Amino acid sequence: MTNNKNVLNWVDEMVALCKPDKVVWIDGSEEQLKALREEACSTGEMLKLNEEKLPGCLLHRTAVNDVARVEGRTYICTRNKEDAGPINNWEDPKVMYERLTKMYDGVMKGRTMYVIPYCMGPIGSKLSKVGVELTDSIYVVLNMDIMTRMGVDAFKQLGDTSNDFVRGLHSKADIDEEKRYIVHFPEDNTIWSINSGYGGNVLLGKKCFALRIASYQGKNEGWMAEHMLILGIENPQGEVKYIAAAFPSACGKTNLAMLIPPEVYKNKGYKVWTVGDDIAWMRIGDDGRLWAINPEAGFFGVAPGTNAHSNFNALESTKKNTIFTNVVHNLDDNTVWWEGLDKNPPKNALNWKGEKWDCTDGSKGAHPNSRFTAPAKNCPCVSPKFDDPTGVPISAIIFGGRRAKTAPLVYQSRSWQHGVFVGSIMASETTAAATGAVGVVRRDPMAMRPFCGYHMGDYFGHWLEMGKRLGDKAPKIFNVNWFRTDDEGHFIWPGFGDNMRVLMWILDRCEGKADAVETPIGFEPKAEDINIEGLGDISVETVKGLLDVDKNLWKEEADGIEEFYKTFGDRLPKELHDELDTLKANLK
């Protein structure tokens, strides 16, 4: 499949280490994939679902001890400890290689090693990159087929001489959580994962490559790998403007990426296009603007709560050729179900563990982190530019979190530097869904806290550097908060599709068509400039309340930011200290 000696030599080394009975090179052909699906169903690793209702769909269950990403077992191994930064787990690469090499020695005896070449981003794009993952899991092969451009074309993208590919080694081993490791060696372009079978730990193209390794590559090569959705808004004249947006989990990222315009815009002919729901790779184009691609080819979405109301387009994406993991199996019609899908839980069903499940006993049928892996091309609003090798030009960058009182509905940064400050202080308050106290502020800069592959102080510095290179062609930076609550704790803003009303003001600001009011934290809309037509219970007065900046709360916020900044020591750029000083002065 390839004559690339760098690939062939590395695969030979890993085969000698893992000692599989058989090595299968994945070419991406439907014939080969069909045989693998049949093999997985014959061993019980996968279950084939109702071919009429869910054509091409499969159900998979992970081990009970292996249901989510494990931050505590995820490492960034740089030669210099300081380069990994204070937020990442670090180990000396020599020590970690030695420890893991013993664990991989002979780990695939009696098993097949699959060699998966894959491309992150459209084939033929200068923005795309190649990886090769070696795995003993058919589940990984079938998911990587959905999530990446997998197969022989990836080797064509790499070429016969390049050494610029990410080396990924994965083995399920014994699914032993005490010996589970997801380890990144950024300086070696290498990822090793062992003792897990769960998607986020084993689909090495996803967070491991597309964010942790790629963020490090981006810093060194002058581009950006960000935990961001990309969406396009098309006006009635057919012009499309693109937005990239970062949100921590449970803040409506996928819903925004697949937004359905409210009637007031739909009736005028506005459309929304999804380029990506999770990750954006962005480079400065020949025209000096920032251009973005979605490196992925599918959606790895959380199932519970996804329904026709919350995210119609995501649900539609799952109707064919999708892999469902850890959801309820409805035995009556061989389909799937999860909490929040509808109000009709199946009577005759198995829960996510494969046990007989009674929907009336109060137990959850689907795991709270159960997933669907769905091809992006299934999405009704997938962008016509989805496979465009040049990507799309970004007009605005949005940061957001879940704040009950502090952050207003929307505000704009005064400059790129101030925008980096706004991204660096991103935070969400814990909800009842998380364990521990409710309302605790968790800082998650640019939503990259779990995914930055190097020191976050240097990461902020890289953002500042990109801004200098972009100059006056830099996207404008905004912050949004859909989660302001009243005194009873109810959300004030309707959210979902109505968030487009805020996006329209943002785009108007980018084009110099909307006014703004200066506040201590940045520029805000005039309340009457947010379109509330058709929102019966939201008045201009309500919007004024949503835009209110409480100076006392922001003084507390400034203290919290100062404490957080201490984490990064002298690697925090001086510019961010300056922005914090400006905020404090503005609040006096």
Residues annotated as binding site for GTP? 250-255, 371, 402, 496-499
DSSP result, 108-130: TTTSEEEEEEEEES-TT-TT-EE
For the beta carbon of residue 286, count every other beta carbon within 10 angstroms.
7
> What gap in Å lies between CA 567 and CA 86, rounded to an integer?
7
Amino acid occupying residue 323:
I
Joined together, the tokens standing for residue 558 give 């400034």
Strands 476-480, 392-400: pairing is parallel
The strands making up 356-357's β-sheet, listed across from edge to edge, are 335-337, 328-330, 349-350, 356-357
Nearest alpha-carbon partner for 483 in 407, 387, 391: 407
Q: How many C-alpha atoms does 135 have within 13 Å on its Cβ side?
A: 28
From the annotation, which residues make up the binding site for Mn(2+)?
Answer: 207, 227, 278
Distance CA 468, CA 420 (A): 12
Helix axis angle for 5-18 and 93-104, nearest 10°, is 60
Residue in the block written with tokens 């989510």: 68
Q: Which residue has the tokens 């201590």?
A: 520
Distance CA 526, CA 543 (A): 9
**Helix H or strand E segment including 34:** helix 30-43
For this structure, is 77 an active site residue?
Answer: no
Give residue 4's Cα distance to chain centre: 31
**How far is Cα 244 from Cα 232, in angstroms, rounded to an integer?**
9
Q: Which residues are CB-contacts of 126 (< 8 A; sequence separation ≥ 6)?
A: 283, 389
The answer to whether residues 315 and 301 touch, using CB atoms and an 8 Å cutoff, is no
What ranges in 44-167 are assigned the alpha helix state H? 81-84, 93-104, 138-147, 152-158
Strand, helix or coil for residue 404: coil
Find tokens 């995820």 and name the residue: 74
Spatial separation of the C-alpha atoms in residues 10 and 211, rounded to whole Å:
23
Structure tokens at 478: 């905004």
440/516 Cα distance (integer angstroms): 31
Contacts with 218 (C-beta within 8 Å, 6 or more apart), sequence order: 224, 225, 281, 462
Q: Which residues are annotated as a binding site for substrate?
A: 69, 198-200, 249, 369-371
Cα of 348 vs its chain's centroid, Å: 34
Give buried/exposed letters for 5-40 (b at 16+ CB in 10 A, else e): ebbeebbeebeebbebeebbbbbbeeebbeebbeeb
**CA-closest candidate to residue 499, choices 265, 250, 241, 240:** 265
Which amino acid would we find at residue 587?
L
Q: Which of 18, 77, 119, 251 is catalytic?
A: 251
Q: Helices 456-470 and 416-424, interaxial angle, to 10°?
A: 160
User: Which residues are known to be catalytic?
Assistant: 251
